[in-house]
Structure 1
Amino acid sequence: MPTTKEFIEKDTDKEQDMNIQPEYERAYDLQTQKLLDKVAIITGGDSGIGRAVAVHFARHGADVVICYHENEEDAETTRKLVEEKGRKALLFAGDIGDEAVCKDIVEKTIAVFGKIDILVNNAAEQHPKDDIREISAEQLTKTFTTNIFSMFYLTKACVPHFKPGCNIINTTSVTAYKGNPKLIDYSSTKGAIVSFTRALAASLADKGIRVNGVAPGPIWTPLIPSTFDAEHVKKFGQDTPMGRAGQPAEVAPAFVFLASEDASYISGQVIHPNGGYVLNG
């Protein structure tokens, strides 16, 4: 790609007369598989948004490493779904809040696949509380360790293996922008992820590594019925402009886009599949 200096050479308003022709089409646009033969690590890949991302990545030709904490049954289901797409899936059980576990994930990925092209930092936990005084030091530490510290650990382990063109996608949340009175610690971690994404993108730009985020709104995943009461679940997502909760399959395409060459000039940004909230962030 020519530099900006090389563009300024001829004064014309006709594209045909430009000394360097704008690129209006690329060969990869002809491919139906945008991530062909890529290798992706996906945390929280056993269910919900993580499962949808794994399946969509596989559909676009990627092999995936599915990291999960304890739900082996869900992880095995995700593995089966990936393999049905004709791609490989490696399962890894462990607590990504432990830096040693994150290093082990990366080492095993390299041992099996020989490379890492995409890191999806997606795993998270939340524990609703009605009052900030109910948030214990233990809960605060655990939420931050899982939701944001793990992103530091995995990124640190992956970067030495990354080459230009590799990328990182972090799952933040609508709560980073709107807040949530019952999820103060969770919302805080999601805000930290936005800042982490922007700062890391600036840090890795000269290495040709892109970093972006996805901020889902209310999405129907196991996290919802497992952490909220029945009344909240019944009304979940109805306050969005679209009047409903979203599905993981409506979020995963954003990850495919950001991981692909379609997003080659995008870094430090956040996509908002949130049912219509306008957040300007």
Structure 2
Amino acid sequence: MAALQGKRAVVTGGSRGIGRAIVERLARDGAAVVFSYASNAEAAAQVEKVVAEAGGRAHAVRADLAEAGAAERLMEIAEERLGAVDILVNNAALSFTPAPLAELDEELYDQAMTVNARAVFLTVRHAARHMPDGGRIINISTLNTTRPAPGIAPYAASKGAVEQLTAVAAMELGARGITVNTVSPGATDTDLLRGTNSAEALETAAQVTALGRLGQPADVADVVAFLAGPDARWITSQNIHATGGLA
């Protein structure tokens, strides 16, 4: 039997990149998955199609997590379609062009905190109220909280908040057998990475990674699937660096 057979999962930001790989892997392991997308309905439909052709179940829900109430509605819709959610993966994040602190305005900071941190708080709070005992919560962060770089202050700050929320939730929910962990990818070969970095920067990132290449979305999805499964029952309050050795 597949490791996640009969489980019900929510993945935020599941139509592209790492999120898509997570949806496809959880579905392949037997979970029924509801995933959110912000605007690209075509990409979301393609994920549904690929999962269905492989014999899995995945349902797309438009939910722009920058909008008030969107995170709560996503969780409610998932419960209406699937029943109580056993697995929550917070992957959605706002991307933006790097800029120095001196040039940033408050609106950009607020947007980053709303999508990257507040939405995680809201979905985790919902899970704390409704998730069955023995559930799994996995929040996607970034290596940039420990490897800071110029121009990404709002992004790094929001992900730092996610990591602290993860640690607190793990302590509060542990008595119910619910594990809460963070996965922090390194340089992962997605459209987003290639759209915001030069070819030279990507080559450098591969060179300084112990395994000598950029990560692939499936590399991160496999770590998430492990944490979502029964073999990770004794792992909680951890930040797993899925970086290929990029320290």
Q: Same fold (TM over 0.5)?
A: yes
Q: Which of the numbers 209, 219, 224 marks the counterpart of 1:255?
A: 224
Of the candidates 45, 52, 59, which is equivalent to residue 21 of structure 2? 52
Q: Distance in 1 between matches of 2:199 and 2:85?
A: 41
How big is the shift at 1:126?
A: 2.5
Name 1:101's counterpart in structure 2.
70
Correspondence list, 1:108-127, <5 A:
108-127=77-96
Whether contact under 8 Å (1:163, 1:208) holds in the other structure is no
Counterpart secondary structure, 1:92: strand
Q: Which residue of 1 aligns with 2:138?
A: 169
Aligned to 1:63: 32
Q: Which has the higher contact order (CA 8 A, sep 6+)?
A: 2
Residue 133 (1) aligns with residue 106 (2): no
- Residue 92 of structure 2 aligns to a residue in which SS? coil
Match of 2:148 in 1: 179
The letter for the 2-side match of 1:223 is L
Structure 2: distance between partners of 1:186 and 1:263: 28
TM-score with structure 2 setting the length: 0.93
> How many pairs are equivalent?
247
Is residue 2:201 matched to residue 1:225? no
Q: How many Å apart are 1:195 and its aligned residue?
A: 1.1
Q: Partner residue of 1:213? A: 182
Instruction: State whether residues 170 and 181 of structure 2, in contact with CA within 8 Å, keep that contact through their aligned partners in structure 1.
Output: yes
State the distance in 1 between where 2:150 and 2:211 align.
22
CA contact (8 A) 2:208 2:246 kept: no
Q: 1: CA distance between counterparts of 2:17 and 2:178?
A: 27
Off by >6 Å, runs of 4+ in structure 1: none
Shift of 1:98: 3.2
Report the Cα offset of residue 138 of structure 1.
1.0
Match of 1:17 in 2: none
Distance 1:134 1:241, change over 3 A: farther
1:255 maps to a residue whose letter is V
Aligned to 1:39: 8
More deviation, 127-136/258-267: 127-136
* Counterpart in the other structure of 1:86: 55
Q: Where does residue 269 of structure 1 map in the other structure?
A: 238
Classify the secondary structure of the residue corresponding to 1:272. strand
The aligned residue for residue 76 of structure 1 is: 45
Is 1:242–2:211 an aligned residue pair?
A: yes
| Counterpart residue type for residue 198 of structure 1 | A
* Distance in 2 (alpha carbons) for counterparts of 1:67 and 1:134: 32
Task: Provide the residue aligned with 1:188 in structure 2.
Answer: 157
- 1:24 aligned residue: none
- Identity across the alignment (%): 36
234-243 or 174-183: bigger deviation: 234-243
- RMSD over equivalenced CA pairs, Å: 1.7
User: CA offset at residue 79 of structure 1?
Assistant: 1.0
Bigger Rg, which one? 1
Q: Distance in 2 between matches of 1:41 and 1:86?
A: 18
Whether the 8 Å CA contact 1:126–1:183 is kept in 2: the answer is: no
Comparing 117-126 and 176-185, the one that deviates more:
176-185
Provide the secondary structure at the position in 2 that maps to 1:267: coil
TM-score in terms of structure 1 length: 0.83
Give the Å deviation of 1:233: 4.9
